[in-house]
Amino acid sequence: MGSIFDSARGPPENTYTSHFLETQSADEDSRPLQLGSINILCTSGMQAHEFAAVCSAMAVAQTTKSVSLRLENFPRRNMPSTHWWKWVAYAFFSKRARACSTVETLTLTFIVLMDTEDIERFVSVLTSDHP
């Protein structure tokens, strides 16, 4: 997972993004991102460590601009919702993500639960120097 999201842009001849290729102005980098857009489906089968791995990779993503995170059956009964929300905060809003990631757009869908405790955990990641 990390090798997909944490690598620099590859040479244009190895890049296939015809479905997500956007026209760019002359002053922008003309090489498209390897994964211009990615859709992540979090189903009931996704384990906590798998979600953590995806979020860790997204925090340093250098190959995509747009992420859609579909949170089906989220949170799971065997894992508190605070666990999942702290990973979302780290992946997309932490100091590391802001410094290292090229992700500009995040879409969260199918949000079932976010209570006060989840929000507090989310904010604690945002304000931490080392979450």
Average pLDDT over residues 67-77: 78
Residue 42 pLDDT grade (very low, low, confident, very high; cuts 50, 70, 90): confident
Q: Which two tokens stand for residue 110?
A: 């199918």
Distances in whole angstroms, Cα of residue 78 to Cα of each of 45, 60, 84, 89: 12, 28, 12, 20
pTM of the model: 0.71
Q: Are strands 37-42 and 66-71 parallel, antiparallel or unpaired?
A: parallel
Please say if the pLDDT value at position 47 is more than 90.
no
Higher local confidence (pLDDT), 24 or 6: 6
CA–CA gap between residue 116 and residue 16 (Å, rounded): 42
